[in-house]
Each structure stands twice: as structure tokens, then as C-alpha cells.
A and B are shown apart, each in its own frame.
Chain A
Amino acid sequence: MSLSAPDDLLALADGILERVGRDRAEVVVVEQEEGLTRFARNQIHQNVAERSRRFRLRLMGDEQVGVAEIRGDVDDLAGRLVAAAEAARRLSPPGDVTPLPRPDAGPDGPVAYSAATAACTPEWRADQVATVAAVSAMAGLEAFGALETSLTHTAVANSLGVRRHAESTAASLVCVTRGENGWGYADRHHHDAAGIDAEAMTAEAVETCGRNQGAVPIEPGVYPVVLSPYAVADLVGHLSDLGFSALAHQEHRSFMRAGEKLMSSLVSIADDASHPGGMPFPFDDEGVSTRCVSCIEEGVCRSFVHDSATALREDVPSTGHALPMPNTFGPWARHLVVSPGESSLEELIAGCDGGLYVTRLWYVRDVHPLRTVITGMTRDGTFLIESGRLGRPVRDLRFTQSIVDALAEVSGVGRERSIELDENERAMLVPALGIGRFAFTS
């Protein structure tokens, strides 16, 4: 894969700003190449690639804002973009307009980038999937999943001098394996495709699947649980969306009460866009450098993530968590990191006798946002913990549980962490968790 050179993207952005003239404006250019090879029943059944470049112009007045976006190589792109944004701005009713950010001298790094990922080919992806299929077939199983690699160039420039650029890569391999009477799951995510060991990942899915044959029903109820990192990612993602945003706080719908201890002292969650163990990226959709924000510190609610609009209301600096502006969604934590503990997975399981080990959560939705109550299903491997070890598999269960209440009952945190994606495909660095009480309702 190869995209435009960094200077080319910034030059395109500069060209649009020149066309705008003396008005205040912001241009974001995102150029992307991605390939995804999908497989089912140990065969490749869908295999796709895409190349695109998208331009976004935000045109500012004192009281009016207009936004225009174009994806595609259209004639007179700059002219059409400016005309559309101007028409939108002119007819937008007067309102509160958050000023454009000024340059903050932050570096354009660290960034999750790998030349190996940028060079991935359809043939390479097919070979990796062939490995997955072979390992599954050897075990008498069928594999289903997807391998995706992407290269993204992002440039942000505004008329006040912000000029940011970053080149990032991502690789994800997701697999479920199917036996006669049960499934298993595993995934791997990394910026470096060479860092994904397809054989080892498949072996994990195969092993889980092997354990998950002939699941038995159990009575719903409250159980102690060990949640794998796959499951923890969903929990943490929903918790973040229910309260880490400054807008949620300002609109009185965040569960967070700053300074109050709501969770176990073992729980610390930050948004850290520079963490080397995650997928680092240096700036937000306004080109503001993304700062590390400690949201939960040893169980205590600490800080919120801001964009320039929420920051202006509180007269504080933006923390660099803006989505494309303006928007009504508010700032978004995109690099969540849960602090590691001291326990191995085996120790967590051994300390949860009589409980359940949950491989994965599925279709998690908010039920009562202020109380952080969510519901969803377990999936692809839920096991009784018997005599301190993984025991019989059980049929999938529905849970309805307050996340805050669950995290108040954390009894152990894994020392190993992995990069997982939540349902919004947001990468986060999470460990396994032992939780004293978790409610399964059917």
C-alpha cells in the first residue's frame, strides 16, 4: 500500500485554506487504504480492499459555523468544498461558536505505525487465514473470522496555524471456532501485522472451543466471575461512554462524582493516547494534542475528557478528545488504559471458586445510563470454576448489571494486558478482572 506523502496532504489542506481566504477555517484530510479478508467454514468467503481520501472543511464566523465534507476525486474539490461550507455557514442561525484551537506545540507522535502493516498484501492476508484454517481443521473444527490491515494518513490544519500530521497502521485478527456442540473465540490487535501470531491465536480459540462442548444450563443468579480481557473491553467502553465525557458531566447525565470513591481501589482507568502498549495517536479531530487523563484513580472518580467546546464552558484547556466539530455528542475517550494488577489469570480463576469464567460479552446495551446498568449475553465460552480451575461449560447467560457496582466488587486484576477493541472498534489496553458479584438474569 502507498498513500500520499505527508507534505502532500498538508499542502492540500493549505490549498483549501488559501481558497477560504481571510475567514477562520479548519481542514481535515484523511486518506486511507484498507484490506479485509473474511473467512467462514475454513474458507475465504469475502475479500475486500478500499482506497479513499476524505476532506472536511469547518468554516467559522463569529456566531455561525458551516461544515462540508467531500470523499472522492471531484472536479474543483476545493471550490466545491468552500462553496458548500459557506452556504451552510451563511444560513446557520446565530449561536455559540467555539473558537478554533491554536497550535500547542505538541509533537506528531508517538503513533502506532508499522511499515510491515503498510506493506501487507492480499496474498499475505490469505496466507494468514490459511494458517488459521489449518490449525482449526487439524482439531476437527471450522474457523470463522476476519483479518484486517489498514494504513491511514491524517492531516489537520487551521487558519490559526495548527498543522498536524500522522501516519498510522492497524492490524486485527478475529476468530471464532465451531465444534459439534460449542464455540471458542480469540482475537489479536496490533499496529504491527508481524506482531500477530495467527497460529497461537487460533490455538487459543481451538482450546476454548474444545472446553466448550456440551454446555449445560445453570440457574441465573449472582455469581463471582472472572472476565477475560475480551469481556472487560466491553465493560470499560460502556463505562467510558456513560460518564468520562465532560459533556455528560455538564449535562448532568454522568455517573461520575469527582473526588468520590465509587469502585474498588484496584481499579484505575485512564485515557492515555501515548501509551506504548496501546495504539498511540497524538492529536484529536481539531489537531489538539491528546493529553493523558486519569478518569478513575484507585476507584476514585477523577477527571473528564474535554474538547474545546466543553473546555471553554469550564475555562480549562481542551484535553484533546474532540470528535469532528461541531457535534452534539461531546468529547470521546479513545485510548482507554486499565492499570494492571498483580495476579496471573490462573490466580484470578483460583480465587473465584464456585464462580464463572466469561470469555466474551455480546450485544451489550445501556439499560439505565445514570446507574451504569447494562445488559448483554455471554458468548463463545462460559465456564464454571470448580476446584479453582476452569470446569464444565455452561450455556450462554444474559446479564443485567451496573458496571460501577461490578467494579466496586473487583477482587483481583490481571497483570497481563492485551489490546482489545470494543463494539465501536476503539482500541483499549485491558487486563482480566476478578469480580465478586455479577448478576445473570436469564
Chain B
Amino acid sequence: MKDIAELALDVAVSSGASYADCRVVQRGVQALSVKDGSFAAVSSFEDEGVGIRVIVDGAWGFAGVDRLDSDSLGEAARTACRIARASSRLRRQAVRLAPCPVAVGEYRTPIGRDPFEVSLEEKMDLLIRADEAMASVEGVTTHEASLEFVREHRLFASSEGSVVEQVLVQSGGGMDATATSADDVQTRSFPNSFGRHQVCAGYEAIEGLDLAGSAPRIAAEAVALLSAPPCPTGRLTLILDGTQAALQVHESCGHPTELDRVRGDEAAYAGTSFLTPDLVGRFRYGSEQVTITADATTPGGLGTYGWDDEGVEAQRTVLVDRGLFRGYMSSRETAADYGWQSSGAMRAESWNRIPLIRMTNVNLEPGQSSLEEMIASTEHGVYLQTNRSWSIDDRRLNFQFGTQNGWEIRDGRPVRLVKNALYAGRTPEFWRSCDAVAGPSEWRVWGVVNCGKGQPSQLMHVGHGAAPCRFRGVAVTAAS
């Protein structure tokens, strides 16, 4: 891989690049799914290619190619330079990069059982048991369980002398049970919605999910939701489970603290941000209970690595400190605009995409409370679990989220299952209403596998550590 990168860099520099970097990526994905006891699919995806990024005449160019012979690499490097020259026709200020130390090293995801060495029989048996356990519940219409494993071997090299090689492994799994009636459809997912829960870990992460053990409960909840009353309406106390708290953090803190959004780089697609730089250190984003960090060193997180896709070392950045807005996730280019150092958050979906500022693991740090304590001290509220719908405006202020499952709380006890819960608000008012976050024993790193950004579009896997948390006076209603 190093030879491939060196060849590409040599051609780029000799073609006029003042800076060049190269990512050589080999990626393997294995996916298994079963559905309704009669559908089963096993698939594999092997991907290999090179992405070459250059600065020529003060502007960026990029070319990706899936052929690793010297002719193709040379052509791609020259194409990247040609593209940069075309960019320079419409560039008023030359690209500047914040300095970073030359990086040399290796990183491998710590794993127990290599998921690619676990037999397909063992994996399929796990899925079949989970699917059969869901099927055993009367009233379930469809049921599905799936697993996904990813191994990515990545080498980054730059014209500044950085060479880092990483092997990143992910394991993910999940299941959905759906129940239908003449006028309703209800789905319960476990451990998370949108297909699965995924982490940077080995097969031990899948074993720890106990899909078959949880399957009957999930299926029974889907059926029960059909006859459950709608979520009550009003300004209520709201308790979110860890999965929903993770998504709340993702949408309302992770995205607005991406510095490229602040610059307007994403204005035409993903949007901008209400967190402008003049607010750093001055703006009350949330209550004292709220501390949010971006941490590419969180064990097991989907956003955990050794170096980002610019060769900047993984690090922890405080975004919100006891409610006060403190900082951003950044790149070498965006950080240079403000005289900062990069926070090491540049990530590309694969070799064929440029790196963009993406979330690493954006974590709501654990607090002092517990779910039990939060419920016990709630007079009237709802406890919501597992995301069902999510929508937020392009500046990340006005949001509305819905969940699969809800429990109405009265006088400190969950009293009845409710369905179709929706809650809405504005980001800073919402986070300022947070009066409790559960502690470390209930804190867990969740994975989001469908974060979209960029043109052409890229999907990124990001992590969020979160625990159950409580908010006061939130507008809650039911979808109808």
C-alpha cells in the first residue's frame, strides 16, 4: 500500500501540487439477514481504491480510482491536479492548512473475536434464533434480524511525510418486529432502530446483544403498541432512553458544531449552523448538566481511530462544557481560518470521496443521576425509547422527533404504554431544560450508521455515548 501511495504522491507533486495526500483503502463488508422465517441472504462486498487530494495554484482537486496499477494511479494524480487548476479559476483566497505534526504509525481496532473468522453457520444460527423468537409472538406481521461486519485497511500518506496505516473493524446487529392492524403499523427495534446497532469491536459485541433473548419482548411490544393509547399532549417532563438521547445529540449538537457548516461549505445541502464563532465561550447551549465532547478515542465508538483522513491524531474536543458552548469539530483548512489547530475530525466514506468534517464520537458525558431516580422524581411525564422519526431545520434549531415506544409516568411510576410519541422544540431551550443525566453505569456508546453529508453524498458511521436524561416542560404530542 505504501508503494501505491508514494507513486501517487510523486506524480501529484511533479504535476505541480504544493500539497498532496493519498488514501489507499481496502474494505470488506459481510452482511447477513433473515426475514419472516423464509428469507435469508448472505452477501459480501470487497472494495479497493485510491483517493488523491491535491492543492495546486491554491485550490483543491481530488480524483478517486479503483485501479492500482501505476498508469491508472498516475492518471488519477494528474486528473486531481487538472481539477485543482480548474478550481483555481474561481478561488479568491488560496487554501491554507493549519500545521500539524508529521504522523507516522499504525492503529488497529482492539477486538476480541475477529468477526471475519466466525463461521457463517454461527452467525446465521444467531439470526435464525432471533427471527424464530420474534415469530413465536402472536400478532407479529413481519420480523427481521440482520448482522453486518466491516474491516477497513487504510493507509494515509501526505507530501508532508505522514504515513499512517490503520485497520478498523466494526460489528453490528439488530432486529425489527412489525405488527399491523387495519389502521395502524407499529415497529419495535432492538437494540436500536434504522437497521442495527454497530460499534468498533469484534464479534463479542454481537454476543453481548443477546438478540434471541430480547426478541420475544420486542415482538410483544410491537403488538401491544397497536392497542396502546396515543401519547398524551402537553408541556411535560420528558425522559429519553440512551438511544434517543444519542440521536438528539447527533442532530442538535454534533451537526451544528461541524466548522465547515459554519463557514457555509454545506449551505446548499446539509445546511449551516446557529452556533457562530462569536458565541464560543459565551453562549449558554444547555444546563449545567450538559457536557458534550467529540472524542475519537472513545473505546468501541464508530468514530474511533488513530488518525483522521488528514493524518491528524485522534483527540478529544470539548464542544459544550456544563452548558457553555466551547468549540467545534474542525479540519486543517477550517481551523486555519481561525488560527486554531485541527480537531482531527476529517473522515471520508471511502477512497472515492474527499474527507469532510464528520462527527467522531459525539458524547453526552454521564451525569450523577439514574433512570430509576429520574422516573421516581417525575410527577407527570413520558419516558420515550428508540427513534422512529427525526427532522430538524437547516440551522439545527427547530426540531421534531418521534419514538417507537413511550411510557406515561404519573407520580413517579410508569403507568401505561403509549404510542406515536412526538416531541418538539428549539435546540438551546431544549438542552437548557435538561435537569438530569444518568451516570456511568447506564452510559453506553451507540452507533449511527446513516449520517449523510456532502456532495456527492457520503454516509458515515459515527458514535454517540449517551445515558438516559430528563428534560422539563417539553412540548409532547402524538402523531395522528
With a cutoff of 8 Å between Cβ atoms, the chain B residues found around residue A328 in the complex are 33, 35, 39, 41, 144
Q: A41-B264, A47-B60, A176-B267 are in contact. Are A326 and B41 (CB under 8 A)?
A: yes
Which of B120-128, B208-216, B307-315 lines the interface with chain A?
B120-128
A148 close to B (CB within 8 Å): yes
With a cutoff of 8 Å between Cβ atoms, the chain A residues found around residue B60 in the complex are 45-47
Task: Tell me the complex Cα distance, A130–B72, Å.
Answer: 30
In the bound complex, do residue A34 and residue B456 qualify as a contact, i.e. CB atoms below 8 Å apart? yes
Q: A96-B39, A251-B180 are in contact. Are A375 and B400 (CB under 8 A)?
A: yes
Cβ-closest chain B residue relative to A58: B43
In the bound complex, do residue A72 and residue B69 qualify as a contact, i.e. CB atoms below 8 Å apart? no
B172 CB to closest chain A CB (Å) equals: 16
Task: Tell me the complex Cα distance, A48–B65, Å.
Answer: 11
B49 close to A (CB within 8 Å): yes
Looking at chain A's contact residues, the main secondary structure is strand
A204 CB to closest chain B CB (Å) equals: 15
How many A-B Cβ pairs are below 8 Å?
257
B47 close to A (CB within 8 Å): yes
B388 CB to closest chain A CB (Å) equals: 8
Q: A51-B65, A69-B44, A88-B42 are in contact. Are A130 and B89 (CB under 8 A)?
A: yes
In the bound complex, do residue B394 and residue A48 qualify as a contact, i.e. CB atoms below 8 Å apart? no
Mask of A349-377 contacts with B, CB within 8 angstroms, 1/0: 00000000000001111111111010111
Cβ-closest chain A residue relative to B127: A93
A367 contact from B46, B87, B121, B389, Cβ within 8 A: B389
Task: Tell me the complex Cα distance, A376–B393, Å.
Answer: 8
Task: Tell me the complex Cα distance, A51–B389, Å.
Answer: 35
In the bound complex, do residue B141 and residue A51 qualify as a contact, i.e. CB atoms below 8 Å apart? no
In the bound complex, do residue A363 and residue B392 qualify as a contact, i.e. CB atoms below 8 Å apart? yes
Q: A84-B44, A367-B402, A377-B398 are in contact. Are A146 and B86 (CB under 8 A)?
A: no
A246 CB to closest chain B CB (Å) equals: 14
Q: A126-B87, A365-B391, A369-B185 are in contact. Are A442 and B63 (CB under 8 A)?
A: no
How many residues does chain A have at the interface if contact means C-beta atoms less than 8 Å apart? 88
A425 close to B (CB within 8 Å): yes
B189 CB to closest chain A CB (Å) equals: 14
Q: A44-B87, A145-B268 are in contact. Are A368 and B480 (CB under 8 A)?
A: yes
A387 close to B (CB within 8 Å): no
Q: A45-B60, A126-B90, A396-B393 are in contact. Are A72 and B41 (CB under 8 A)?
A: no
Task: Tell me the complex Cα distance, A95–B128, Å.
Answer: 11
Task: Tell me the complex Cα distance, A35–B354, Å.
Answer: 12
In the bound complex, do residue B90 and residue A130 qualify as a contact, i.e. CB atoms below 8 Å apart? yes
B455 close to A (CB within 8 Å): yes
With a cutoff of 8 Å between Cβ atoms, the chain A residues found around residue B4 in the complex are none
Q: A91-B124, A373-B479, A373-B480 are in contact. Are A50 and B46 (CB under 8 A)?
A: no
A125 close to B (CB within 8 Å): yes
In the bound complex, do residue B43 and residue A88 qualify as a contact, i.e. CB atoms below 8 Å apart? yes
A67 close to B (CB within 8 Å): yes
In the bound complex, do residue A252 and residue B267 qualify as a contact, i.e. CB atoms below 8 Å apart? no
Task: Tell me the complex Cα distance, A360–B455, Å.
Answer: 18
Cβ-closest chain A residue relative to B144: A328
A327 close to B (CB within 8 Å): yes
B400 contact from A35, A64, A178, A400, Cβ within 8 A: A400
B65 CB to closest chain A CB (Å) equals: 5
Cβ-closest chain B residue relative to A150: B456
With a cutoff of 8 Å between Cβ atoms, the chain B residues found around residue A369 in the complex are 185
In the bound complex, do residue B91 and residue A71 qualify as a contact, i.e. CB atoms below 8 Å apart? no
Mask of B265-306 contacts with A, CB within 8 angstroms, 1/0: 101110100000000000000000000000000000000000
In the bound complex, do residue B40 and residue A93 qualify as a contact, i.e. CB atoms below 8 Å apart? yes
In the bound complex, do residue A52 and residue B66 qualify as a contact, i.e. CB atoms below 8 Å apart? yes
Which of B76-84, B157-165, B373-381, B429-437 lines the interface with chain A?
B76-84
With a cutoff of 8 Å between Cβ atoms, the chain A residues found around residue B67 in the complex are 72-73
Cβ-closest chain B residue relative to A36: B456
Q: A71-B47, A95-B38 are in contact. Are A48 and B63 (CB under 8 A)?
A: yes
Mask of A122-143 contacts with B, CB within 8 angstroms, 1/0: 1101110110010000000010
In the bound complex, do residue A71 and residue B66 qualify as a contact, i.e. CB atoms below 8 Å apart? yes
B386 CB to closest chain A CB (Å) equals: 15
In the bound complex, do residue A52 and residue B352 qualify as a contact, i.e. CB atoms below 8 Å apart? yes
With a cutoff of 8 Å between Cβ atoms, the chain B residues found around residue A36 in the complex are 455-456
A39 close to B (CB within 8 Å): yes
With a cutoff of 8 Å between Cβ atoms, the chain A residues found around residue B352 in the complex are 50, 52
B390 close to A (CB within 8 Å): yes
Task: Tell me the complex Cα distance, A44–B56, Å.
Answer: 13
Task: Tell me the complex Cα distance, A45–B184, Å.
Answer: 47
Cβ-closest chain A residue relative to B400: A375
Mask of B367-408 contacts with A, CB within 8 angstroms, 1/0: 000000000000000000000011111100010101000000
B190 CB to closest chain A CB (Å) equals: 17
B61 close to A (CB within 8 Å): yes
A251 contact from B120, B142, B455, Cβ within 8 A: B142
With a cutoff of 8 Å between Cβ atoms, the chain B residues found around residue A41 in the complex are 264
Task: Tell me the complex Cα distance, A68–B424, Å.
Answer: 43
B183 close to A (CB within 8 Å): yes
With a cutoff of 8 Å between Cβ atoms, the chain A residues found around residue B62 in the complex are 46-49
A365 contact from B42, B64, B92, B390, Cβ within 8 A: B390
In the bound complex, do residue A363 and residue B87 qualify as a contact, i.e. CB atoms below 8 Å apart? no
In the bound complex, do residue A370 and residue B183 qualify as a contact, i.e. CB atoms below 8 Å apart? yes
In the bound complex, do residue A251 and residue B178 qualify as a contact, i.e. CB atoms below 8 Å apart? yes
Q: A49-B83, A398-B400 are in contact. Are A71 and B39 (CB under 8 A)?
A: no
B480 contact from A91, A146, A371, Cβ within 8 A: A371
In the bound complex, do residue A69 and residue B391 qualify as a contact, i.e. CB atoms below 8 Å apart? no
A67 contact from B42, B120, B128, B142, Cβ within 8 A: B42
A129 contact from B48, B65, B69, B90, Cβ within 8 A: B90
B41 CB to closest chain A CB (Å) equals: 5
Q: A46-B60, A93-B124, A126-B87 are in contact. Are A365 and B49 (CB under 8 A)?
A: no
A76 CB to closest chain B CB (Å) equals: 12
With a cutoff of 8 Å between Cβ atoms, the chain B residues found around residue A176 in the complex are 267-268
| Interface core residue of B92, B184, B393 (most chain A CB under 10 Å) | B393
A80 close to B (CB within 8 Å): yes
Task: Tell me the complex Cα distance, A64–B40, Å.
Answer: 8
B338 close to A (CB within 8 Å): no
In the bound complex, do residue B41 and residue A93 qualify as a contact, i.e. CB atoms below 8 Å apart? no
In the bound complex, do residue A144 and residue B44 qualify as a contact, i.e. CB atoms below 8 Å apart? no
Residues 93-121 of A at the B interface (beta carbon under 8 Å): 93-96, 121
Task: Tell me the complex Cα distance, A369–B389, Å.
Answer: 10
In the bound complex, do residue B41 and residue A379 qualify as a contact, i.e. CB atoms below 8 Å apart? no
In the bound complex, do residue B68 and residue A40 qualify as a contact, i.e. CB atoms below 8 Å apart? no
Residues 230-263 of B at the A interface (beta carbon under 8 Å): 263
Q: A91-B120, A146-B455, A252-B141 are in contact. Are A368 and B43 (CB under 8 A)?
A: no
In the bound complex, do residue A50 and residue B268 qualify as a contact, i.e. CB atoms below 8 Å apart? no
Mask of A79-96 contacts with B, CB within 8 angstroms, 1/0: 010001101110111111
* Residues of A in contact with B (beta carbons under 8 Å apart): 34-53, 64-74, 80, 84-85, 87-89, 91-96, 121-123, 125-127, 129-130, 133, 142, 144-146, 148, 174-176, 178, 251-253, 326-328, 362-371, 373, 375-377, 379, 396, 398, 400, 425, 441-442
Selected A-B contacts with CB under 8 Å, 10 pairs = A46-B60, A49-B83, A52-B66, A70-B47, A71-B48, A88-B42, A144-B267, A326-B41, A396-B393, A400-B479
Lowest 3 A-B CB distances belong to which pairs? A72-B48, A91-B120, A67-B43
A73-B66, A93-B40, A123-B86 provided; 19 other pairs, C-beta below 8 A? A40-B263, A48-B63, A49-B62, A49-B80, A52-B65, A68-B46, A70-B47, A73-B67, A91-B121, A92-B124, A96-B39, A127-B89, A144-B268, A251-B178, A253-B185, A326-B39, A362-B271, A377-B394, A398-B398
